[in-house]
Structure 1
Amino acid sequence: MTEPVFRETTADPRTQAVPLSHLSLELGHVYMEDFEAGPARLREHFARVRPWAEAARAVAAAATGGRRPRISTCFLIDDYFARFSSPARIVPLIRDEAERAGLAVDYVARESGCAVTGKVPVADAVAARIVESPPPGSYGLRPPAAQTGWLANGERSPVARAPQAMKRAAAWEPPKETAARNHSVFLDVELWSEDADGRRLWSCPFLAAVWQLARLGLLRNEGEPVFTAQPHTDDGFPDDWDELPSLIRLNPKADPFAAYRTASVVPNRFLPVEHSVRVILDQLDVDHGALRQVAERSAREQAAVPDSVADRVSYVFYAGP
């Protein structure tokens, strides 16, 4: 006789779904040096972005088979590595310069929100989901990323050690990419560094990986969405970055922030960072409930979505100033 099993409904937290667009189109980042260069830098950036943004829209439209694609635009501000100026000055500047170029920014996000949003330690939670891919033939000699803060896409060169008496020193061996095609492109990514008190400073590539997960609608905290856009009111923007929500919606009629796929139009100086993002995304155990919801909804809409999270991300790199 089978014994009945009783379980409280609260024992299995429900994964809350999020609205999804077909494409999340990132129109750029702004860092302290970009702001210091003045409005002309942003003006030039948006002028370069516009034709590529239009091309990304055309590709998304073709993929929906004639239906109107849901496309939202976003812009990321670095307030994590340097606090500069204020939201009251930066956000209107971004919005106005985009409009001057014929573009509309639907959402603005703070990079510090990729580290902590509200009381949720987002970066810590994502780091806990790293599942390293062991290189073929490895024997666990490499310390895990959770200890070192470094994540590789293959096998590192062995550490040279002094030979024992009467034995030869081990010969040098090159690093090997796990999924190499003919030749290796080995990459070792620093995920964080620590200060003297053990506080972590998350790296730009790791925060960028969190940013991509947010745009793909795959971040959850106990089943609840982490990045929820707060509508912008007519009261203006605060003077302190900590008073600005991690994600704000500038356009009240915008399509959903998260999407099946992402596209980013950025200067080519971001190429090493975004290569690192792919290495990170390929070794994350992403929330299964969120993945299942995206798969089910995209199937109903007949919107093809790759199984690999990293393959849902695309870029246009332009030659920057």
Structure 2
Amino acid sequence: MGDRVMIADVRFQESAAVRRTENVPYSHLSVELGHFYAEDFGDGHRELRNKFARIADWVDVFPGLARRGLRAQRQPRISTCFMVDDYFHRFGTPHEVIPQVQEAAAEHGLVLDYVARESSFAQHRDVELARRLVDTLVVEPPRHTTGSRPPLSESGWLSNGQRTPTHLDAPAMTPLPRPWSPPMQSGDPRHSIFIDIELWSEEPQGRVWACALLAAVWQMTRLGVLRHRGETITQPHLLVPGEQLPDDWDELPSIVQLNPSARSFWAYRTLTLMDTQYLPVELAVRTILGQVVVPPAVNGQVAERAASEGVPLPDELVDRLSYVFIGG
């Protein structure tokens, strides 16, 4: 019969094709001390100061939230951040605005570790982050639908269930019109809370991404699960002593570390404090993130790191988000 034939399954692959998933350090909690818009800087910054006065009432709660699930006697790692809207309304300059926010926060004993600019979550250098997030959405096909509504990639609309069916396909002169049926939330809740979200609009100057979508990118960035070819897309830029903030928002890095002794920007969980007027936007953010698929390599890496610290980490991305909505 001769010698035994050995069959070797040899695969050749370029090393560049096997991408390494970058690892990043994590705080236990990332606390966002608000979004800031042009209207917050009028009237002698009174509204800006009022916001921080309301937020300061919650400072003592942060350590308890960050410590949840940690081993006894372990000190939680907490970092703070805020975002400035330079996407929908450009106002002032980084050199003017950021120190004003820092000063208003310091009046109430608050230290701001990081500042981010909203436009960078639409596009960061040559990576269109908003589009990348849309590409990761896995939309659950509603039951009993005919496909008459355009797909998400064409319509720009995302829902959390089944919309009210249209009756455009009903024959003319139908003696008995089809009965109306309500929209229905996915998951078969006892009573539906249906939401339909516009993710972008096409305007003369081009596509404009919705605030809710940019906020979803921002949350994923804070949670450390946003990657491009395995690499973290936005890295905080440490503002060294003597370095001046630029006079143009486009020259400001996506995320700037203002406090040199700050804990890591990325965190296992996020806490966002904001005015009640933003509650609908955050409902939309949670709906978007509920349909995002995080790459398994990234998700597994975060889960493994959390487990090594004894940190309980929810499987669902949206369960890692917490909020405090503060009335006026």
Normalised TM-score (structure 2): 0.93
Aligned counterparts of 1:153 and 1:298: Cα–Cα separation in 2: 29
- Corresponding residue of 1:250: 258
Q: Is the contact between residue 105 and residue 250 of structure 1 (CA under 8 Å) also seen in structure 2?
A: yes
Partner of 2:269, secondary structure, is strand
Tell me the CA shift for residue 141 of structure 1. Answer: 3.6
Tell me the CA shift for residue 227 of structure 1. Answer: 1.5
User: What amino acid does structure 2 have at the position aligned with 1:208?
Assistant: A
Structure 1 residue ranges, 4+ long, deviating more than 4 angstroms after superposition: none
Partner of 2:136, secondary structure, is coil
Tell me the CA shift for residue 162 of structure 1. Answer: 6.7
Point out where structure 2 has 5 or more consecutive residues left out of the alignment. 1-6
Give the alignment partner of residue 195 of structure 1, picking from 200, 203, 225.
203
User: What amino acid does structure 2 have at the position aligned with 1:61?
Assistant: R
Deviates more, 1:308-317 or 1:112-121: 112-121
Instruction: Give per-residue Cα distances to partners, 1:221-274, cap 9 Å, x unaligned.
Output: 111101100011322211111111110000111000010000001110110000
- Corresponding residue of 2:104: 97
- Are 1:63 and 2:82 an aligned pair? no
Give the alignment partner of residue 3 of structure 1, picking from 9, 15, 21.
9
Aligned counterparts of 2:188 and 2:48: Cα–Cα separation in 1: 38
User: What amino acid does structure 2 have at the position aligned with 1:20?
Assistant: Y
- Corresponding residue of 1:279: 287
Tell me the CA shift for residue 171 of structure 1. Answer: 1.9
CA RMSD of aligned residues (A): 1.5
Q: Is the contact between residue 123 and residue 210 of structure 1 (CA under 8 Å) also seen in structure 2?
A: yes
Aligned counterparts of 1:307 and 1:38: Cα–Cα separation in 2: 45
User: What amino acid does structure 2 have at the position aligned with 1:127?
Assistant: V
Give the alignment partner of residue 80 of structure 2, picking from 64, 67, 73.
73
Q: For residues 136 and 302 of structure 1, do their structure 2 counterparts lie closer, same or farther at Cα, with a shift above 3 Å needed?
A: farther
- Corresponding residue of 1:304: 312
- Are 1:23 and 2:3 an aligned pair? no
Partner of 1:38, secondary structure, is helix
Q: For residues 39 and 63 of structure 1, do their structure 2 counterparts lie closer, same or farther at Cα, with a shift above 3 Å needed?
A: farther
User: What amino acid does structure 2 have at the position aligned with 1:58?
Assistant: G
Give the alignment partner of residue 60 of structure 2, picking from 36, 41, 54.
54
- Corresponding residue of 1:291: 299
Q: Is the contact between residue 264 and residue 314 of structure 1 (CA under 8 Å) also seen in structure 2?
A: yes
User: What amino acid does structure 1 have at the position aligned with 2:324?
Assistant: V
Normalised TM-score (structure 1): 0.95
Aligned counterparts of 1:246 and 1:174: Cα–Cα separation in 2: 43
Partner of 1:126, secondary structure, is helix
Tell me the CA shift for residue 57 of structure 1. Answer: 2.2
The number of aligned residues is 319
Q: Is the contact between residue 265 and residue 315 of structure 1 (CA under 8 Å) also seen in structure 2?
A: yes
User: What amino acid does structure 2 have at the position aligned with 1:8?
Assistant: E
Aligned counterparts of 2:148 and 2:25: Cα–Cα separation in 1: 44
Tell me the CA shift for residue 143 of structure 1. Answer: 2.1
- Corresponding residue of 1:126: 133
Aligned counterparts of 1:37 and 1:122: Cα–Cα separation in 2: 35
Q: For residues 10 and 284 of structure 1, do their structure 2 counterparts lie closer, same or farther at Cα, with a shift above 3 Å needed?
A: same
- Corresponding residue of 1:146: 153
Deviates more, 1:279-288 or 1:140-149: 140-149
Instruction: Give per-residue Cα distances to partners, 1:119-172, cap 9 Å, x unaligned.
Output: 221111111111102233444343221110000000001123274245333221
Aligned counterparts of 2:60 and 2:121: Cα–Cα separation in 1: 27
Matches within 5 A, 1:145-224: 145-161=152-168, 163-165=170-172, 167=174, 168-196=176-204, 199-224=206-231
User: What amino acid does structure 2 have at the position aligned with 1:26?
Assistant: E
Partner of 1:183, secondary structure, is coil
Tell me the CA shift for residue 308 of structure 1. Answer: 0.3
User: What amino acid does structure 1 have at the position aligned with 2:257?
Assistant: R
Partner of 2:57, secondary structure, is helix
Give the alignment partner of residue 116 of structure 1, picking from 120, 123, 141.
123
User: What amino acid does structure 2 have at the position aligned with 1:102?
Assistant: G
- Corresponding residue of 2:19: 13
Partner of 1:63, secondary structure, is coil
- Corresponding residue of 2:4: none
Q: For residues 53 and 140 of structure 1, do their structure 2 counterparts lie closer, same or farther at Cα, with a shift above 3 Å needed?
A: farther
Point out where structure 1 has 5 or more consecutive residues left out of the alignment. none
Aligned counterparts of 1:102 and 1:164: Cα–Cα separation in 2: 68
Partner of 2:95, secondary structure, is helix
